[in-house]
Structure 1
């Protein structure tokens, strides 16, 4: 199982649950059940952030995954605190359900927030130690998402509705994710805001390297189209950030908890000119900026990942993510990922000089933990940045260049 860290918060994921309550026998319009995440194995010492709700009676063990948390610094840390108390939101009294159940809102200590409701088997108040509240700087205020379940038709004394937590759009280099909990109110009307609507935050790890060695002309001959030196950048993506066509979401957590998105850079030749005449000579080349072909659309449709922008994922795990801007060429604009543009390069080469122009071409590949590749490659040409080299070399580089 993958363990993630954000500041002093440690985040794991469990696929094991214990049923707390369902509405069987209530005669409700919808089926609904609520489950308690169970942290076992290498997750001993982790705590749920709330319970997990579904609009059916299916066994969710091994089929769903939710976040559980611990403090990097152990019991002495301050990333987590148990709630001070609970306030009652709803009970199923009057519903005729086969079992008794109740919904409770955790009341966090000052400086902390609760990230979901707790469903109790019976009408008693839950123990404060079963969940944890999170320090406010470790979470992000989130939106209220789709309906999980409401008690329409059950005949309960009071109305109740519950909804998913949906994270907002993430900034570059970060991930916002719903912990898998739910919010709820004593009403069938979806609220605009809720005191428990928070998501978790993560940063996308990026291994940085220096760019590939710059090409150098060593004579008057035209260089090959591609330089041989390459450099690979790596961005590691957690399982819930990828739609894997060969794995069900819960299986990703076990078989490929981390995906490796590689960007391999190399210089490609834009144009070469050798002026053998007795006067300055003009050369005209073209340079492409952006993605090559329809590879970007194919990659996104297969994996769900938008290399050039923010993307959202579900249904098993609600998350939004955006790659680091330097990794995705979107520091100034993301238009290159929608379509490529071709520009004309006009260069005036001095007498008895050879000049070559290069641009970096980046190839993106996505790999599972076992090394198998997901989807096709994506290639991107950085036509905004052209590298020039001349022969014979000179301290002064007096080229007249015009790019249209």
Structure 2
């Protein structure tokens, strides 16, 4: 990709995530509000997401971003921003997704810290039925403008636990102690993604708080397209059956960039070039064995099913981070890769149960154990036994494939067909 292509991609906004009448997008543009230069505490600062008005008109931050260090974070971090959208419901009385805060409550001020400029931290006070998803910084002791951020309707978010410390003023000699913390999304229900927008919460101590009034994550359903399963094979004569039937795509899940580990792209590149990924499941019937009993009495037939690439689903998960049959999140080891700081958007994702053949973790799905299949075939009858193989592949927005396919065969649900059909 040449420089002109890179510039065109950077200048093109991604399609917004729609959750009822809430639009969610992302930005890599920030304005530095304050840093602690001159203070004796460890380097830290606060930045405000500033989505370009020509690319994301009407989008607002949900709170400011806290960082350790004084480096410029533009084009190095990605955080969520929001906009009011049209309601998909016919209910004209549905409340707006977003609201300005009524007011602000001061959480901390840096008086006595020795920093070159003043700083104060404020919690937005939301109207009834709405919640704040983070705190806001002011480069003075005055309240921020109510237009600085937006609060979100309470049914569109989920309460979240506190995660890791980002920065503290310890050593600054400020009159008030203060520490800032990230938010960890809770485990997502099947078919959902919970994700923290990249904001922070703060407390007047250096001890991790148990809860916080602004600790929330956004929630969304994973869009899923489902097609009918392939038609099971049927014997129509005594000739040998085909060893496999054509594969058919039965499930397509659309996953946002931040829930995927792409071996060829870092998170910022993912956001800019492939904001969505498509996880496809293909179903296919594969022949285990067939037997033709030409004798005058029932006969026992036995076949051993050898599973090819039995560990491929585990390898698929290791490369993409996607788990089949369980939840995965930004806290998993798969996401502990450079450049980890770009993941300002923490998440927990869980595919719909229908995407997974069984509700069991990958480590059990891929156990490479040969399976014996035994059946009794009546006289003058032919029987064929098939297994269903599920192949998972991940595609970028441009259709290129991420990693090799992962496969799983369900031996608890074999398909048997016979000719002539049993009367």
Fold-level match, TM-score > 0.5?
yes
**d(CA) in 2 for partners of 1:213, 1:300:** 29
User: Which residue, 38, 51, 55 being the options, matches 1:39?
Assistant: 51
User: Which residue, 366, 379, 387 being the options, matches 1:351?
Assistant: 379
**d(CA) in 1 for partners of 2:247, 2:261:** 32
CA-to-partner distance for each residue in 1:272-297, whole Å, 9 max, x for gaps?
111100001111234579x9422223
Shift, 1:341, TM fit: 4.4
Q: Indicate whether 1:363 and 2:363 are aligned.
A: no
**d(CA) in 1 for partners of 2:223, 2:306:** 29
Question: Residues 110 and 332 from structure 1, CA distance in 2 versus in 1: closer, same or farther, beyond 3 angstroms?
Answer: same
For the 8 Å contact 1:260–1:366, the answer to whether it is kept is yes
**d(CA) in 1 for partners of 2:230, 2:121:** 58
**d(CA) in 2 for partners of 1:70, 1:12:** 8
- Map 1:178-327; keep pairs closer than 5 Å: 178-287=196-305, 292-313=309-330, 315=340, 316=343, 317-327=345-355
CA-to-partner distance for each residue in 1:143-172, whole Å, 9 max, x for gaps?
101111100111111110000011011111
User: Which residue, 24, 32, 36 being the options, matches 1:23?
Assistant: 36
**d(CA) in 1 for partners of 2:228, 2:243:** 22
**d(CA) in 2 for partners of 1:292, 1:72:** 46
SS at match of 2:412: coil
Shift, 1:106, TM fit: 0.8
Extract unaligned runs of 5+ from structure 2: 1-13, 88-93
How many residue pairs get matched?
A: 393
Shift, 1:231, TM fit: 3.2
**d(CA) in 2 for partners of 1:280, 1:230:** 36
User: Which residue, 75, 83, 90 being the options, matches 1:70?
Assistant: 83
**d(CA) in 2 for partners of 1:77, 1:130:** 21
Q: Indicate whether 1:378 and 2:406 are aligned.
A: yes
CA-to-partner distance for each residue in 1:324-353, whole Å, 9 max, x for gaps?
111122347766435244443321111111
Shift, 1:372, TM fit: 1.8
For the 8 Å contact 1:170–1:320, the answer to whether it is kept is yes
**d(CA) in 2 for partners of 1:336, 1:220:** 38
Question: Residues 172 and 66 from structure 1, CA distance in 2 versus in 1: closer, same or farther, beyond 3 angstroms?
Answer: same
Question: Residues 224 and 135 from structure 1, CA distance in 2 versus in 1: closer, same or farther, beyond 3 angstroms?
Answer: same
**d(CA) in 1 for partners of 2:20, 2:369:** 41
Shift, 1:213, TM fit: 1.9
| Structure 2 length-normalised TM | 0.88
Shift, 1:383, TM fit: 1.4
Question: Residues 231 and 89 from structure 1, CA distance in 2 versus in 1: closer, same or farther, beyond 3 angstroms?
Answer: closer
CA-to-partner distance for each residue in 1:351-397, whole Å, 9 max, x for gaps?
11111111211111111112221112111112121112111235x3x
For the 8 Å contact 2:247–2:282, the answer to whether it is kept is no
Greater shift in the superposed pair: 385-394 or 90-99: 385-394
For the 8 Å contact 2:121–2:137, the answer to whether it is kept is yes
SS at match of 1:130: coil
Greater shift in the superposed pair: 17-26 or 40-49: 40-49
SS at match of 1:370: coil
Shift, 1:222, TM fit: 2.1
Shift, 1:95, TM fit: 0.9
Question: Residues 256 and 149 from structure 1, CA distance in 2 versus in 1: closer, same or farther, beyond 3 angstroms?
Answer: same
Greater shift in the superposed pair: 294-303 or 360-369: 294-303
Shift, 1:204, TM fit: 1.0
**d(CA) in 2 for partners of 1:388, 1:294:** 26
For the 8 Å contact 2:311–2:366, the answer to whether it is kept is no
**d(CA) in 1 for partners of 2:358, 2:21:** 30
Shift, 1:256, TM fit: 0.6
| Structure 1 length-normalised TM | 0.92
Extract unaligned runs of 5+ from structure 1: 397-404
Question: Residues 166 and 333 from structure 1, CA distance in 2 versus in 1: closer, same or farther, beyond 3 angstroms?
Answer: closer
**d(CA) in 2 for partners of 1:374, 1:332:** 23
For the 8 Å contact 2:288–2:303, the answer to whether it is kept is yes
